[in-house]
């Protein structure tokens, strides 16, 4: 297959939807020669912050001279960005080769993988070929039954756990914690958790809980904080949650290679309260559930001050958009809603009606239309599903 054919193959498997469970991926891995073994994987699960923590860990280990592979989802701009080696995305040729290997294995084993299973298997195949010192692997959803949970790991990492994906993971925080904890095989390092979540994690293995970041300074181009004996740790990522994500990452790096205050410099992670424009002040954030919306609300208050603010947002219909609107709606003078390009998209009309309970809301037919109108305000916040971010970047940065 060439690159376009590989994309078509993945897309054609989308009709299988989400299918939790390891039987399929285990058959596929066996037919491919078990590429998931020997990856020295740092496996990350949690509700929010997985990508940021993974970015910090990968950059920190690279700054120490290690070669680091990474697999995460979803992508923002291009599917190839989800598989990287030393922060360099997989090439089109490498991607096509890896997906071809997956297709051939699926045919020989009479396996019908989902899109996510294809992407995961291809990532493992490619990263194994690179001979990484470490690989940082992020779960897609949950943990216990997630396709990534076939990977042999040297360490499990748990980011903050909250209610999300309840249709698949359970209705209570304890149920969801149980599913996330399914990646733990021995030792795990966890962010601080609620007592209920912490109790579930403790029953799953040897858990080290990270501490809190201290003396945090929030600037418009960086965040500075202290953690334990390390003073003046500087990170380029913004937002109230990023110091805590970095603190968790520092615990992981300390255990693997020893941590120093400069290890996290150079970390790049798009659309996590990322400032895209100064005048007006425009931020993009991947908040797509109530837990993420709570962090976003804190950031809007912290960085926005008394600025007149407009939102541009679009979400998927399996998210609790009503709770998200309740949390964020009162913070904006205007909300422009859009329908994401996804079969799971929530209609912009429904989202507009929901936000109208809290502030003035208007449906837009495109991101471009929404942003043109929003630019009249002092601060603009683009948030929701990552599928709307690509168009926002294109409009703002060309």
Rounded Cα distance between 155 and 397, Å, is 38
Contact 120/71 with Cβ under 8 angstroms? yes
Task: Spell out the CATH class of 274-397.
Answer: alpha beta
Coil, strand or helix at 385: coil
Paired strand residues for 135: 41, 69
Rounded Cα distance between 85 and 125, Å, is 13
Q: Which two tokens stand for residue 66?
A: 């290690």
Residue pointed to by tokens 């859009």: 338
Contact 6/78 with Cβ under 8 angstroms? no
Residue 164: predicted pLDDT: 56
Residue 166: predicted pLDDT: 47
Count H helices, E strands: the chain? 14, 17
Residue 168: predicted pLDDT: 53
DSSP state, 331? G
φ, ψ dihedrals at 213, nearest 5°: -70, 145
Same fold, 3-257 and 274-397: no
| pLDDT one digit per residue (tens) for the chain, 398 residues | 999 999 999 999 977 666 777 999 999 999 999 999 989 999 999 988 999 999 999 999 999 999 999 999 888 889 999 999 999 999 999 999 999 999 999 999 999 999 999 999 999 999 999 999 999 999 998 899 999 999 999 999 999 997 654 455 556 889 899 999 999 998 999 999 999 999 999 999 899 999 999 999 999 999 999 999 999 999 999 999 999 999 999 999 999 999 999 999 999 999 889 999 999 999 999 888 898 899 999 999 999 988 999 999 999 998 899 999 999 999 999 999 999 988 889 999 999 999 999 999 999 999 999 999 999 999 999 999 988 988 998 898 76
Residue 301: predicted pLDDT: 95
DSSP state, 181? G
φ, ψ dihedrals at 68, nearest 5°: -130, 125
Residue 170: predicted pLDDT: 55
DSSP state, 156? E
Residue 45: predicted pLDDT: 96
Helices 321-328, 348-355: crossing angle, 10 deg rounding: 40
Rounded Cα distance between 149 and 145, Å, is 7
Coil, strand or helix at 64: coil
DSSP state, 187? E
Paired strand residues for 187: 206
Rounded Cα distance between 83 and 46, Å, is 20
Domain boundary assignment for the chain: 3-257, 274-397
Specify the CATH superfamily of domain 3-257: Mur-like, catalytic domain (3.40.1190.10)
Rounded Cα distance between 265 and 268, Å, is 9
């Amino acid at each position: 297959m060439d690159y376009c054919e590989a994309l078509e193959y993945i897309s054609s498997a989308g009709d299988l939807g989400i299918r939790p469970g390891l039987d399929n991926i285990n058959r596929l891995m066996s037919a491919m020669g078990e590429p998931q073994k020997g990856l020295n994987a740092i496996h990350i699960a949690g509700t929010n912050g997985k990508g940021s923590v993974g970015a910090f860990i990968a950059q920190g280990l690279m700054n120490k001279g290690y070669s680091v592979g990474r697999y995460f989802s979803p992508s923002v701009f291009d599917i190839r960005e989800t598989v990287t080696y030393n922060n360099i995305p997989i090439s089109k040729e490498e991607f096509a080769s890896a997906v071809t290997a997956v297709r051939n294995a699926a045919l020989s084993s009479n396996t019908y993988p989902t899109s996510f299973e294809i992407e995961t298997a291809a990532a493992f195949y490619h990263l194994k070929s690179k001979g990484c010192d470490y690989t940082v692997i992020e779960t897609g959803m949950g943990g216990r039954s997630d396709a990534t949970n076939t990977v042999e790991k040297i360490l499990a990492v748990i980011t903050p756990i909250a209610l999300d994906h309840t249709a698949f993971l359970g209705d209570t925080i304890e149920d969801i914690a149980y599913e996330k904890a399914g990646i733990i095989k021995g030792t795990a390092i966890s962010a601080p958790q609620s007592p209920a979540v912490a109790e579930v994690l403790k029953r799953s293995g040897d858990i080290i809980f990270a501490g809190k970041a201290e003396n945090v300074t929030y600037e418009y181009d960086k965040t500075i904080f202290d953690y334990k004996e390390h003073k003046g740790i500087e990170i380029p990522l913004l937002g109230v949650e990023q110091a805590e994500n970095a603190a968790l990452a520092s615990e992981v790096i300390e255990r693997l290679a020893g941590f120093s205050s400069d290890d996290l410099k150079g970390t790049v992670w798009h659309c996590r309260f990322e400032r895209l424009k100064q005048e007006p002040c425009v931020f993009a954030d991947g908040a797509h559930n109530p837990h993420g919306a709570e962090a976003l609300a804190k950031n809007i208050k912290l960085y926005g001050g008394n600025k007149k603010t407009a939102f541009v947002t679009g979400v998927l219909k399996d998210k609790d958009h009503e709770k998200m609107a309740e949390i964020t709606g009162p913070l904006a003078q205007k909300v422009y809603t859009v329908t994401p390009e996804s079969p799971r998209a929530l209609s912009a009309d429904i989202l507009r009606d929901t936000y109208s309970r809290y502030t003035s809301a208007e449906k837009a037919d495109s991101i471009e239309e929404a942003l043109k109108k929003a630019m009249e305000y002092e601060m603009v916040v683009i948030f929701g599903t990552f599928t709307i971010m690509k168009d926002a970047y294109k409009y703002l940065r060309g």
